[in-house]
């Protein structure tokens, strides 16, 4: 193997392919980056078996071949090299030689044959969605995925395609996040993607209108962006029928300024931090919401103007769940709908109806 | 106690006084911030006994008094409040009430009498030095102070005033840093300041020409900046006679571009990271310096143009010590002076002669 490429492109490609590598594997080959030549380009691949990322850059190929190098060390070396052309070639003793200006590195490599095979995916049926829209959909839902593994399916995010819509859904037993966008397709898909995959995908997606192509197989999803392919296994099993969880009738509806409400809850939660429950209490009155919290350290009372339609209510929450939602939403005004102090609260934007958040209240003994 | 002040000033003052608080104390009072009213002002004091910081801001005092509040929680509350006037007053049940717009906090307080006494320092003899010069002197030397406590005196930095100069000196047995600046005084002082104190002082000092007043007592140093006073105990004992360590005769002198040399050494050290010694080898030839390093992972060879006066030399270093020095220096060209592969290397700026760095080489068996 022998090729020349630019430092800038190589550094960028390493940082993309590295996103699949957890760095925690006890198998050295999984901490490695596969470098393969392919006419006029080199391909870098990182993989932790569940998730693989491959990306291509232009290169002048002098001799074909492929090797695996330690991802972290190779990345650090390239990053520290001067901004110029880099020549990389295999030498004897299972090494590669990296030459850039007057710098010369010899680095032990591993064998390309030992690298895990990347699933070959037939891109027959593809869905197109602008990068920035998918990026936003992931950001709007990923925080609600379950962190613990008691129900593994909930550690993933549901990709549901039906009725010309793509719905992303995450839920963890305490809260739910649903974001929907138009998708020009008659197909129907139900797939659950690991949270780790989408977290890395959202870092690679750019804030622009260029499309990302998505392909599903029974076991895998492929995100195809120009020079980069991200392939992930799907989670096995059936996702929860989320529609049956979201109530559609309510006894009261509150309209509030999102940032003001967020500030009040964040301050109230400072006192609640003492305990694990982050407990805050909401008293919803005619034109006011009063938020209180107390602990051994003291107490806090916040008050904000709201618009109430329907009954008054006293209800308690884990403040973290409300803060997560209010931080991620982007409209100036939001709507909260309630039925009772023991029923879920549904939060939506006041204007655009493309997201739904649900938070379960905390049941108080003396309510 | 009852006063009104602005959120911005209070937040700024908390962040200054908090710098004395380690947050690790098992005595709750040492995690506390002392608030004291004094005509038209309030004074905030943080202390870990060795180091105390007090700072004043304007306030409308309605009732005099003093309390101690948990520094972290109080700081977080003030930071999250709206940008407006804040009213703080004592209430029953050992609490203070914090009111800002529609937010109301009640916070348990501790007793001001339990707060450690801050040494009262007679400011008879003061030394004046511009803030940015002292800040730079600290930054230029502090990294060389000893981290381990085997010789406690070396965990501090020597403040030596003599011959109308202030010298700051740090050394840890492997390297030494000395920075000197003119000081308009006939006095002679020798005091060793704990590294932690100077680290916090340098964060509070600003990058401007305003003077900081420095006062010494046999056991303490006081830095006085307008509204803020920083009082620290001195380390006990005699500092090492650093002048006898710095050689004044050499067999060769190298002139090199600082940033280029730094880049070469940083790259070479990537291969050296495998071991604890960060070992790199320098071959100093007529117009070239060749830097090499190797480990189980591979090897590296760097080459840079230099100007050599004197003999050629092969010498080895812990790369970390050279990197620390080259990063902190600011001139484009530097000078390195050597005598042999087992004698210290002295590094200076090519032009301005106000700093001296010394690094001990690593002795190689097969040199």
pLDDT exceeds cutoff 60 at B324: yes
The 8-class DSSP code of residue A199 comes to H
Q: What is the pLDDT of residue B165?
A: 96
- Among chain A residues, CA nearest to B271: A73
Average model confidence (pLDDT) across chain A: 95
Chain B residues in contact with A300 (beta carbon < 8 A): 103-106
- Among chain A residues, CA nearest to B298: A107
pLDDT exceeds cutoff 70 at B160: yes
Percent of chain B with pLDDT over 70: 99
Q: Residue A160's beta-bridge partner residues?
A: A167, A190
Q: What is the pLDDT of residue B123?
A: 87
Q: What is the mean pLDDT of residues A1-14?
A: 98
pLDDT exceeds cutoff 80 at A255: yes
Q: Is A95 on the interface with B (CB under 8 A)?
A: yes
Q: Is B343 on the interface with A (CB under 8 A)?
A: no
Q: Measured on CA atoms in the order B39, B40, B45, B51, is the torsion positive or negative?
A: negative
A167 near A180, Cβ under 8 Å?
A: yes
Q: What is the mean pLDDT of residues A141-169?
A: 96
More confidently predicted of A1 and A39: A1
Q: What is the pLDDT of residue A297?
A: 87
Pick the CATH number of A127-244 from 3.10.150.10, 3.40.50.300, 3.90.25.10, 3.10.20.600: 3.10.150.10
Comma-separated ranges of CATH 3.10.150.10 domains in chain B: 2-114, 126-244, 252-359
Q: Residue A304: which of B95, B102, B299 has the nearest Cβ? A: B102
A271 near A295, Cβ under 8 Å?
A: yes
Edge-to-edge strand ranges of the sheet holding B66-70: B110-111, B66-70, B32-38, B41-47, B51-58, B228-233, B220-225, B211-216, B126-130
Q: What is the pLDDT of residues B54-89, one digit of tens each?
A: 999 999 999 999 999 999 999 999 999 999 999 999
CA distance B156 to B159: 9
Q: What is the pLDDT of residue A24?
A: 84
Instruction: For residue A272, name the pLDDT band (cuts at 50, 70, 90).
Output: confident
The 8-class DSSP code of residue B9 comes to H
The 8-class DSSP code of residue B116 comes to P
Kindly report the CATH class assigned to A2-114. alpha beta
Q: Is A73 on the interface with B (CB under 8 A)?
A: yes
**E strands in B146-219:** 156-162, 165-171, 175-182, 189-194, 211-216
Q: What is the mean pLDDT of residues B311-328?
A: 97
CB contact under 8 A, B299 and A105: yes
Q: What share of chain B is helix, strand, coil (3-state, %, to 5)?
A: 25, 45, 30
Inter-axis angle of helices A71-80 and B258-272, to 10 degrees? Answer: 170
Q: What is the pLDDT of residues A45-84, one digit of tens each?
A: 999 999 999 999 999 999 999 999 999 999 999 999 999 9
Pull the structure tokens for residue B284.
Answer: 């100093």
Q: What is the mean pLDDT of residues B188-214?
A: 96
> Helix, strand, or coil here: B135?
helix
pLDDT exceeds cutoff 70 at A176: yes
Chain B residues in contact with A102 (beta carbon < 8 A): 302-304
Chain A residues in contact with B107 (beta carbon < 8 A): 297-298
B85 near B49, Cβ under 8 Å?
A: no
- Among chain B residues, CA nearest to A98: B300
pLDDT exceeds cutoff 50 at B252: yes
Output b/e per residue, B12-27; b: 16+ Cβ within 10 A. ebbbbbbbbbeeeeee
Instruction: For residue B91, name the pLDDT band (cuts at 50, 70, 90).
Output: very high
Q: Is A180 on the interface with B (CB under 8 A)?
A: no
In CATH, what is the architecture of B252-359? Roll (3.10)
pLDDT exceeds cutoff 60 at B119: yes
B220 near B123, Cβ under 8 Å?
A: no
pLDDT exceeds cutoff 50 at B367: no
Chain B residues in contact with A287 (beta carbon < 8 A): none
Contacts of residues A243-247 at CB distance under 8 Å and 24 or more positions apart, as own/partner, are: A245/A171, A245/A176, A245/A344, A245/A358, A246/A176, A246/A178, A246/A344, A246/A346, A246/A356, A246/A358, A247/A339, A247/A343, A247/A344, A247/A346
Output b/e per residue, B124-136; b: 16+ Cβ within 10 A. eeebebbbebbbb
Instruction: Write the ipTM.
Output: 0.90
pLDDT exceeds cutoff 70 at A87: yes
Q: What is the pLDDT of residue B366?
A: 62
Instruction: For residue A364, name the pLDDT band (cuts at 50, 70, 90).
Output: confident
Q: What is the pLDDT of residue A366?
A: 62
How far apart are the CA of A295 and the nearest CA of chain B, in angstroms? 10
DSSP string for residues in A34-103? EEEEETTEEEEEEE-SSEEEEEEEE-EEEE--EEEEEHHHHHHHHHHS-SSEEEEEEETTTEEEEEETTE
Q: What is the pLDDT of residue A79?
A: 97
Kindly report the CATH class assigned to B126-244. alpha beta
pLDDT exceeds cutoff 70 at A274: no
Q: What is the pLDDT of residue A289?
A: 98
Instruction: For residue A296, name the pLDDT band (cuts at 50, 70, 90).
Output: confident
Percent of chain A with pLDDT over 90: 91
Pull the structure tokens for residue A102.
Answer: 């007057």
Pull the structure tokens for residue A366.
Answer: 């003396």
Q: What is the pLDDT of residue A367?
A: 46
How many CA atoms lie within 13 Å of A309's alpha carbon, on the beta-carbon side?
Answer: 7
Residues 6+ apart with CB under 8 A from A216: A125, A159, A189, A191, A222, A234
Q: What is the mean pLDDT of residues A303-329?
A: 97
More confidently predicted of B318 and B273: B318
pLDDT exceeds cutoff 90 at A16: yes
Question: Backbone phi, then psi, for B227, in 5-degree steps?
Answer: -95, 0
Q: What is the mean pLDDT of residues A14-29?
A: 92
Q: What is the pLDDT of residue B322?
A: 98
CA distance B255 to B267: 20
Q: What is the pLDDT of residues A98-153, one digit of tens each?
A: 999 999 999 999 999 999 999 999 988 899 999 999 999 999 999 999 999 999 99
Q: What is the pLDDT of residue A124?
A: 85
Q: Is B300 on the interface with A (CB under 8 A)?
A: yes
Output b/e per residue, A31-69; b: 16+ Cβ within 10 A. bbbbbbbeeeebbbbbbbeebbbbbbbebebeeeebbbb
Q: Is A271 on the interface with B (CB under 8 A)?
A: yes
Chain A residues in contact with B270 (beta carbon < 8 A): 73, 76-77, 80
Instruction: For residue A275, name the pLDDT band (cuts at 50, 70, 90).
Output: low
CB contact under 8 A, A70 and B103: no
Q: What is the pLDDT of residues A215-241, one digit of tens each?
A: 999 999 999 998 999 999 999 999 999
> CA of A4: how far to CAs of A41, A45, A115, B227, B366, in Å?
10, 18, 23, 60, 37
């Amino acid at each position: 193997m022998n090729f020349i490429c630019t430092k800038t492109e190589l550094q960028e490609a390493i940082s993309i392919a590295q996103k699949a590598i957890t760095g925690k594997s006890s198998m050295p080959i999984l901490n490695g980056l596969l470098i393969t030549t392919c006419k006029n380009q080199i391909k870098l691949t990182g993989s932790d078996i569940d998730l693989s990322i491959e990306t291509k850059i232009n290169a002048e190929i002098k001799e074909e071949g492929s090797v695996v190098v330690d991802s972290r060390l190779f990345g650090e070396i390239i990053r520290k090299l001067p901004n110029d052309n880099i020549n990389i070639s295999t030498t004897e003793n299972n090494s590669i030689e990296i030459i850039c200006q007057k710098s010369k590195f010899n680095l032990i490599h591993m064998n390309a044959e030992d690298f895990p095979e990347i699933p070959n995916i037939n891109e027959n049926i593809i869905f197109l969605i602008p990068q920035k829209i998918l990026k936003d959909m992931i950001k709007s839902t990923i925080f609600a995925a379950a962190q613990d593994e008691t129900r593994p399916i909930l550690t993933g995010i549901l990709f549901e395609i039906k009725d010309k819509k793509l719905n992303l859904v995450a839920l963890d037993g305490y809260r739910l996040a649903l974001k929907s966008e138009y998708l020009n397709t008659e197909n129907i898909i139900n797939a659950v993607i690991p949270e780790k995959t989408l977290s890395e995908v959202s870092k690679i997606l750019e804030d622009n209108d260029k499309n990302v192509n998505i392909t599903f197989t029974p076991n895998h999803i492929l995100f195809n962006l120009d020079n980069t392919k991200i392939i992930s296994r799907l989670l096995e099993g059936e996702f929860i029928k989320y529609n049956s969880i979201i109530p559609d009738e309510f006894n009261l509806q509150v309209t509030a300024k999102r940032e003001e409400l967020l500030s009040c809850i964040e301050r109230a939660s400072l006192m609640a931090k003492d305990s694990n429950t982050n407990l805050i209490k909401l008293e919803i009155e005619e034109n006011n919401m009063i938020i209180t919290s107390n602990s051994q350290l003291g107490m806090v009372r916040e008050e904000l103007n709201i618009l109430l339609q329907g009954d008054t209510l006293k209800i308690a929450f884990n403040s973290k769940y409300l803060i997560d939602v209010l931080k991620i939403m982007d409209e100036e005004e939001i709507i909260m709908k309630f039925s009772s102090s023991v029923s879920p609260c549904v939060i939506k934007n006041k204007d655009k109806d493309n997201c739904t958040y649900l938070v379960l209240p905390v049941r108080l003994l003396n309510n």
